[in-house]
Structure 1
């Protein structure tokens, strides 16, 4: 007996020749040649397994086999897959199985989950979902590119809502941490409460963008002070002030993200924590420079005063103030004082004249953008027709693209 490990095609050919010869001899049971035959067959099988990996289990073949076993027709699959057209598309491999279909086929027909779901995918996907994913703003997320190259109408989006959202969440967090993301506490300002799933989806989209950003330094608690905010406000005087603001925040270890709001959220901005790193997110819902700067400083005030592990998310609708919320009043006050100190504002001529010229002069004295002065006048007087032309000096989003 001279059997060796097969390392290449020549060794394999020699082993196959010897195996054929031994099989022709039909060795007696218990003989040395029978032992050689069995051992050689094991060595050959091991080599074949290495060079020809086993075929992946095929979900469609498994379904067809089970149908044949149970004498089922295509109409019998409608309750598991959803409709006659969907059954046809699945069996012709034009439509992939969704997680919901997989669970029903497994529970109803007893087809092994690992075959239906694929051996390389975690079996926890067979567990009941942590949320009703069909309630998320799927169409808007698709339009923003968060679902890759997925194509389909609203009905198809709903069919694959769980698959798409689980994949999106997987990019943000390991599977065992995903339920925590879905249940994170959300503090909402104002009387108009946002759609819960839309607000959560917006937060997740912000996280995805923020995690792709490289910041210059780690955040140190206490860096955001009124003095620091005043220096930030002076960047508003530059045409590229919003872009400079992003760099200013990055140098402090704070990510500034622009993510348009989803329908039903009424958001101007939010402050949030992500593994100890602060994120300020703005929606630019109101395309005005005064709104950009006030919302930015308001969220940074939350970072300074309120953001911690027990309160990791503050979402703000600045059109709907909550006068009973102490934290929101503190953030408003800190932002307002940093942009225009109250002692200086009390002496400003523009408060009486309401003229563009005085607004420009006052802005130059403070070293800030005139839009901020115009916004303060409009807010204080309640007359939003005043100084309107001073607000359209630039779209902040173009500096942050």
Structure 2
């Protein structure tokens, strides 16, 4: 091998830099090529080496972000701002002092205001490279949440202590409240266009309630649901549980074992909800009931109605979620379909026709029919009341105040 050939073979060829030794050798080669003219083979090699070195150094020796306090003080110096000028962004003289002295962490609400009004990069304030603030759409929606009622019910326990604090730290509250389910503005199950079922009167309150019931379900053991589980036979098995004194609690246990969460959470003002059927994931289903009417007849019908939605509309991907005010049921196709399947599962049309029960039927006759059918008498009594449009009769059979107490 000649001397010139040996020198040629010893020249380092451009390659990805993985180690400190690679880095040192690359720097040595850059020094050899530093005087190379652009456009020449040596100049092209130099350019490639510089890119490789830069990439390695960015990963190996990252430049630390300035602290949020440093960034705020720098911006104050730039704009000639006094501490009092930060009050609109940090929320009071004492809070400004505590933040600047490192005694109080920045909240998301503070960070958004500092970012939007003072132009301090979000990644600096959040201390994460390329970090961005939560989507503003959720913030705007969350501002319409019924915070007073949510605080009263304890929904924000562990997040915030009072309503004034909730309002002052609204963005932080929303992010923590929705953390178990994620940003609802980004998920199909919250999107009314993808889940055009039901007729809520207050969309913001509905989303807050939906986050709540989904979060409660997420706290439970993760379930595995097999699509198609809910059919007519399954529904009739559920109905037979009505015969027992603790039928609603037994139904919850039965559904849980088949991959379906049953959550009870009262409706929020202006939603007028009776229940909902929700897809938690491809392997999860959720029935949520408000027990707006704490009666056995109402419980069994609403439960079967929501299960019918799972069979007919959730499993078949017609809807991601269905929300029901059953005072206004029958107003669209999917509600009529769920009504019919629920009614048939509770008492088949042939059995109901043969029974010939009417508003003039006696309590004894209704009880005897229920005993033959092995169901609770509240079910036929509720059907008679509905079909006769007379809600003053048979109240003694309805199981008033017999449901909510079974769910704590």
Which of the five TM-score ranges fits, normalised by the shorter chain? 0.7 to 0.9
| Inter-partner Cα distance in structure 1 for 2:96 and 2:361 | 68
Please show how residues 110-149 of structure 1 align to structure 2 within 5 Å: 110-117=119-126, 119=127, 123-125=131-133, 128-132=136-140, 133-149=142-158
The Cα shift of 1:314 comes to 0.7
With over 3 angstroms needed to count, the CA separation of the structure-2 counterparts of 1:77 and 1:397, relative to structure 1, is same
Contact preservation (8 Å) 2:359, 2:393: no
| Residue 287 of structure 1: aligned partner | 294
| Residue 241 of structure 2: aligned partner | 235
Gaps of 5+ in 2: 1-63
Partner SS for 1:92: helix
With over 3 angstroms needed to count, the CA separation of the structure-2 counterparts of 1:138 and 1:57, relative to structure 1, is farther
| Residue 248 of structure 1: aligned partner | 254
| Residue 313 of structure 1: aligned partner | 321
With over 3 angstroms needed to count, the CA separation of the structure-2 counterparts of 1:264 and 1:112, relative to structure 1, is same
| Residue 389 of structure 2: aligned partner | 382
Gaps of 5+ in 1: 1-54
Please show how residues 182-221 of structure 1 align to structure 2 within 5 Å: 183=191, 185-190=194-199, 193-214=200-221, 218-221=224-227
Please show how residues 70-149 of structure 1 align to structure 2 within 5 Å: 70-81=79-90, 86-92=92-98, 97-117=106-126, 119=127, 123-125=131-133, 128-132=136-140, 133-149=142-158
With over 3 angstroms needed to count, the CA separation of the structure-2 counterparts of 1:400 and 1:123, relative to structure 1, is same
| Residue 58 of structure 2: aligned partner | none
The Cα shift of 1:296 comes to 0.4
With over 3 angstroms needed to count, the CA separation of the structure-2 counterparts of 1:339 and 1:236, relative to structure 1, is same
The Cα shift of 1:359 comes to 1.7
Q: Deviations over 1:326-384 (max 9, x none)?
A: 11111101111111112222232541533222221111111111111221111111111
| Residue 270 of structure 2: aligned partner | 264
Quick one: which of 345, 348, 352 aligns to 1:345? 352
The Cα shift of 1:245 comes to 0.6
Partner SS for 1:278: strand
Contact preservation (8 Å) 1:189, 1:320: no
Partner SS for 1:319: helix
The Cα shift of 1:290 comes to 0.6
| Inter-partner Cα distance in structure 2 for 1:239 and 1:253 | 24
| Inter-partner Cα distance in structure 1 for 2:113 and 2:237 | 59
The Cα shift of 1:201 comes to 1.6
Partner SS for 2:354: coil
The TM-score with structure 2 as length reference comes to 0.73
The TM-score with structure 1 as length reference comes to 0.74
Q: What is the alpha-carbon root mean square deviation over aligned residues?
A: 2.9
Partner SS for 1:346: helix
| Residue 45 of structure 1: aligned partner | none
